[in-house]
Structure formats: C-alpha cells, structure tokens
Structure 1
Amino acid sequence: MKKALTAIAAAAFAFAGLSTTASAENEKFVLISHAPDSDSWWNVIKNAIKVAGDQMGAEVEYRNPPTGDLADMARIVEQAAATNPDGIIVTIADFNVLKGPITDAVDKGIPVITINSGTQEQSEELGALMHVGQPEYDAGFGAGKRAAAAGAKSFVCVNHYITNPASVERCRGFADALGVELGSQMIDSGQDPSEVKNKVSAYLNTNQDVDAVLTLGPNSAHPTLAALRDAGLAGEMMFGTFDLSSEIAEAIKAGEINFAIDQQPYLQGYLPVVILTNYARYSVLPSGHINSGPGFITKDNIAQVEKYAGEYR
C-alpha cells in the first residue's frame, strides 16, 4: 500500500508541475468537513488546500458546520452544489444524513471526492470519483494489536465525536484486536476539555482495572493526558491516540503516549485538489481509492515528523 500511495502521490505532484505551466482556468472547489470550529486538527487540511490551490491556480473554499451539527453540514453541501463548483470534496461523517445532498451533487454533474470519514464502499455508492482517507476499523485494530502486545486486557476509548460512525469503528477495531466487547469501554466524552478530563478521571476511578487508553484525536488526547497526569498514571498506562499535535509529540518523546496513529491529513486535503484540477482540465484520474493511513508515530520516529505537526502532519 505504501508503494502504491507513493506512486499516486508522486503522480499528483507531477500533475501539479504540469498544471502550473498550463494556463490556469481558475477552477472553483469547495471542501466541506464535519468538524466544528473548535477542532484545530483540521488546520492541516486547511493548509493543504491552500497550498494545492496556489500551486494549481484554483480557488478552494473550506466550509464546515460551526458546531459540528451534521444536519447543518448537509445544508452546506446543498448550498455548495447550488453554486455549481468545478468539484466538491466532502467527508462522509454520517452516510444516511449526507447521502441525499451528495448524490444530488453527483447527479448535477459535479465531480465529488470523499475524504477522511466514511468508507470506500460508501464513496462508491454515493457516485464519488474516489475516497482519500484511512480505513478506520483497520486503524483501530492495528492500535489494538499494539496494546495487546503490551499486555493490555481492559481499556477505555475516549470518543469526543460519537455522532460520527467512523469514530465508533476506531473503538470497535481496538476492542476486537484485544478480543473484548466494546460495550461500556467507549465513553462519550464531549468536546469541552474540562468535561473530557472529568469524564476520563471518573471512569478511571470507577474502573481501576483499565490498563490501556485510546483517544480519537487531540481534542480528547490533551485533556485525557491531563487526567492521567493528575492521577499519577501518565507513562504507567498504555496510551495510544489518533492524530498528531505538538503536545502529543512532546508526550510521545516523554514516554507518556506510546503512539499516535497518523492518517496524514495533509494528503487528504492536498491530493483531491490536485486530482480535481487535472480532471477538470485534462480528464485524467487515478484508477482507485487512496489510503492516506494508518501509520504509527512512536518515540523511534517522532523526530522525523514533529517539526511538521499542526501544519503538514
């Protein structure tokens, strides 16, 4: 997979060079995510679409529901399609909620690439050109295998966006790798840092047999780390998280977080813009979906990636 992704990425960068020498046609694209304004993880994708837009001579607008409300996101997709852009890039945060607006856009003849949340099968059912993202269950399963190898038997999955089905798949994959039921080991933490910290602390106080923690991104990782530090458990308990931030990178170096699962969000923003631009100009298109992850960042390789955290990683 790594070789295939490298080849596709190299082709996309080659297309970038080709397109900047051709006359720019000022294509207009819209990227619509499910993320609330408070989720800073998406800054990497915002940076990626800006870089790609500048390189391609295309205009790329980022839109999202300010509070993360998926009904609001569905309306944003409808509004974007009504402007007849040259392409739409969209997350499949909830297939049932977004199916109508996305298929309506496809039926209007607007090229669509799905990213991040959702599956390749869902992307195909919606009529999208391709999906660029990380198989979430597989990523969770891979994390669970690492936890199992470390001797973990009981865990808590701190889910800060439980309304997104992909988040549950992450937790489920982790549980399956450990050979246990997910059940109550997944908690709905909410997104307020104080609330996340309090819920994690309460869970650990009630369930003292927990020997592993999985968080689903910086929004839950940062306050969970604070809860573990307060309890004197930081570095004593297996701790894995999805995604990367400067604080997560420091915790990996300190031995407080064992690994971060890297879905390479930069590629999720950059590649669709390059691909849609070349599709609009030359009708060329990669032949399949692109897996941007999962990769695992540990103390052994953190030095290679930490300087790019929050901007390119």
Structure 2
Amino acid sequence: MKLVKSLAMTALVAITPFAASADGHASLNYVLVSHAPDSDSWWNTIKNGIALAGDQMGVNVEYRNPPTGDLADMARIIEQAAAAQPDGIITTLADFDVLSGPIRSAVDQGIDVIIMNSGTPEQAREVGALMYVGQPEYDAGFAAGQRAAGDGIGSFLCVNHYISSPASTERCQGFADGLGVELGNQMIDSGQDPAEIKNRVLAYLNSNPETEAVLTLGPTSADPTLLALQENGLAGDIYFGTFDLGENIVQGLKDGIINWGIDQQPFLQAYLPVVVLTNYDRYGVLPGNNINSGPGFVTADGLTKVEEFAGEYR
C-alpha cells in the first residue's frame, strides 16, 4: 500500500505543468499528448510511466489528451503545447493527415519531439521527430493473424472501438492478412459505449454464426466482448485474441476464455521517451535506432508479473 500511495503522489507531482526542479539540474519540461479519450483506462499505465520517469529523472512531465478522443482537438492541443515552448513533446501519431502538420510545426519551432504508441518509424522521420517508441500496429496484427492461422482459424470478427484512428484499422487489416483472408465486413465499428459494444458483438455473431474467432483492440472493446460471449454461451468456445492488457483481460486469460493478449508494453512507451529526452537535453546523447516496445504475446502460463501489475505497469 505504501508503494501505491507513493506512486500516486508521484503522479500528482509529475503531471503538474512546469514545476521547478530540485535535483541540481536546470528544470526541463515535457508534455505528452495522446489521442485517448478520458474514458479509456488503458492509458493509466502511460500516466504511471511518465510519472515514474519524471520523478527518477528530476523533470516535469504533463499529460494532455482530447477528452472525447477527437483528433482535430488533439491537433489543437499539440499546437497549444508547442506555444508554451516546452523542452520536448512526446506524442502519438494516430492519424498522419490530421496530426503531422502540428507536429512538424513544433519541430520547426526548435522543440524536440518523440513519437510514441501509434504511427510508424517512417512517419516519425517524415515529421522530423527524434525517434519512434512503440509497436508497429500492422506488424503486430499480422503476427497475431499468423498465430491464429497456426491454430486453425479462418474467419473472425475484429471489434474496432476506435475506427477513426488508422492505427486501429491497421491492427484488423494485419490480422486478416496474417490469416490470408480478406478483411471485408469482418471489422465492425463498435463505438466506445460498453453496452453498445456488447450489443453489436452479439448482433454480428448472431448473424454470422460461422465466425471462428474474435479479435478486440484493447480493454475498451475486450471487456464488453467478454460479457457478450458469456451471454450467448460462446465464452471459452470461440477463439479470442486481444490487443493490450487489463484486469478483465488477465482474468479472461486465467479462465481460458481469452487465448492470448498482445502486450505492447505501454509503460515503456511513456517511460523511455522521457528518459531519452532528458539525457538528450542534458548530455546530447541519443539512441541510434527506434525502439519497438511490442508485440509480445501473453498467455495463461505467463501471467505472474502481468497479473501483479496489470492496469498499472503492464
């Protein structure tokens, strides 16, 4: 309990904008901008990552996001962050067309930028960012599709709860390509309301009873899908893979309902950019390569650490 309380206090300090540094170094101020809506609990791990990194490195890190996940709103937040002239911006690149302009503008103003979580190393270079830290989404989906194909799967439902983000669609497309099938109508726009997600999953499976597998893209869609499968009696009988981890996903793995979860290690996606920027600003050192934080497959037989830290650091 003392550790949790200490980390909670750290988070409050670390995300306070532009506080003074007390570690002997000149104060450094960073902003992490995500595309996540307030309702997406998966991003709590990101907040924990920047809080711990900020505390360990003696820098100030502020978290900002569009409350509803609106990408145009996110673009404005990046512009506002750049106007405050922080020492660095860490940002997702959920939609290149919408976000590349504000990111390039920040770089042109002399602000160091690291792309994390979404986008690609190629896109990071194109906008002038120092590097990319994250999981190549199409590649992760493709690896998941190959794994499912090896398990005999030929058809699936991809429950896309953030269809406005191209990165989400890349996961579904990669999975289809890994299986060697057309994506077609096997991806649904589920929205983000839990009740609506559950109902849309039930409706799809009722209309397509031959569906062999379900793929969800994170806790937002996985948790209601678990409820849907329990309601229609398919829990444990239909092949179920998901991106990302969370408490209910971990329990689904333990219960044999979920076959595997893809851990992109969001803690590292937040923690490492803060460390890299700090060392770059202080000492001029920079890793020579981008950092792939995933994918890593988590199954029921590898849950010890995951279960302990799910929702906090995993």
Q: TM-score, normalised by structure 2?
A: 0.92
* Matched position secondary structure for 2:301: coil
Any idea what the Cα deviations from partners look like across 1:111-142, whole Å, max 9, x if unmatched? 00000010110000000000000011111111
The aligned counterpart of 2:248 is 247
Q: Quote the offset at 1:148 in angstroms.
A: 1.1
Give the 3 Å change call, closer, same or farther, for CA 30–200 of structure 1 in structure 2: same
The aligned counterpart of 1:295 is 296
The aligned counterpart of 1:158 is 159
* Matched position secondary structure for 1:66: coil
Q: Quote the offset at 1:149 in angstroms.
A: 1.6
The aligned counterpart of 1:143 is 144
Higher relative contact order (CA 8 A, sep 6+): 1
The aligned counterpart of 1:60 is 61
Paired residues of 1:25 and 1:57 also in contact (CA < 8 A): no
Paired residues of 2:22 and 2:58 also in contact (CA < 8 A): no
Aligned residue identity for 1:188: D
| Distance in 2 (alpha carbons) for counterparts of 1:304 and 1:238 | 24
| Distance in 1 (alpha carbons) for counterparts of 2:299 and 2:168 | 22
How do residues 37-56 of structure 1 correspond to structure 2 at under 5 angstroms? 37-56=38-57
- 1:221 aligned to 2:222? yes
Q: Which moved more, 1:67-76 or 1:148-157?
A: 148-157
Query: What runs of 5+ residues in structure 1 fail to find an aligned partner?
Result: 1-19
Any idea what the Cα deviations from partners look like across 1:1-33, whole Å, max 9, x if unmatched? xxxxxxxxxxxxxxxxxxx99732220000000
| Distance in 1 (alpha carbons) for counterparts of 2:256 and 2:153 | 17
| Distance in 2 (alpha carbons) for counterparts of 1:106 and 1:73 | 17
Paired residues of 1:140 and 1:174 also in contact (CA < 8 A): yes
Any idea what the Cα deviations from partners look like across 1:73-110, whole Å, max 9, x if unmatched? 00000000000000000000100101110000000110
The aligned counterpart of 1:86 is 87
Aligned residue identity for 1:29: Y
Any idea what the Cα deviations from partners look like across 1:264-286, whole Å, max 9, x if unmatched? 00000000001101111111100
Aligned residue identity for 2:126: E
| Distance in 2 (alpha carbons) for counterparts of 1:226 and 1:33 | 28
Paired residues of 1:134 and 1:293 also in contact (CA < 8 A): yes
How do residues 181-260 of structure 1 correspond to structure 2 at under 5 angstroms? 181-260=182-261
Any idea what the Cα deviations from partners look like across 1:17-65, whole Å, max 9, x if unmatched? xxx9973222000000000000000000100100000111111000000
Paired residues of 1:150 and 1:238 also in contact (CA < 8 A): no
| Distance in 2 (alpha carbons) for counterparts of 1:23 and 1:308 | 32
| Distance in 2 (alpha carbons) for counterparts of 1:73 and 1:276 | 22
The aligned counterpart of 1:312 is 313
Q: Percent identity over the alignment?
A: 68
Paired residues of 1:24 and 1:56 also in contact (CA < 8 A): no
Q: Quote the offset at 1:304 in angstroms.
A: 3.1
Paired residues of 2:194 and 2:220 also in contact (CA < 8 A): yes
| Distance in 2 (alpha carbons) for counterparts of 1:21 and 1:301 | 40
| Distance in 2 (alpha carbons) for counterparts of 1:240 and 1:288 | 30
Query: Deviating runs (4+, > 3 A) in structure 1?
Result: none
Q: TM-score, normalised by structure 1?
A: 0.92
Paired residues of 1:218 and 1:243 also in contact (CA < 8 A): yes
| Distance in 2 (alpha carbons) for counterparts of 1:216 and 1:41 | 11
Aligned residue identity for 2:133: V
Aligned residue identity for 1:43: N
* Matched position secondary structure for 1:300: helix
The aligned counterpart of 1:119 is 120
| Distance in 2 (alpha carbons) for counterparts of 1:88 and 1:207 | 45
| Distance in 2 (alpha carbons) for counterparts of 1:268 and 1:303 | 21
* Matched position secondary structure for 1:240: strand
The aligned counterpart of 2:282 is 281
Q: Quote the offset at 1:158 in angstroms.
A: 0.2
Q: Which moved more, 1:237-246 or 1:21-30?
A: 21-30
Any idea what the Cα deviations from partners look like across 1:191-230, whole Å, max 9, x if unmatched? 0000000000000000001010000000000000110111
Paired residues of 1:140 and 1:169 also in contact (CA < 8 A): yes
Q: Which moved more, 1:232-241 or 1:145-154?
A: 145-154
Query: What runs of 5+ residues in structure 2 fail to find an aligned partner?
Result: 1-20
| Distance in 2 (alpha carbons) for counterparts of 1:191 and 1:122 | 27
| Distance in 2 (alpha carbons) for counterparts of 1:67 and 1:284 | 37
| Distance in 2 (alpha carbons) for counterparts of 1:269 and 1:24 | 22
| Distance in 1 (alpha carbons) for counterparts of 2:279 and 2:176 | 41
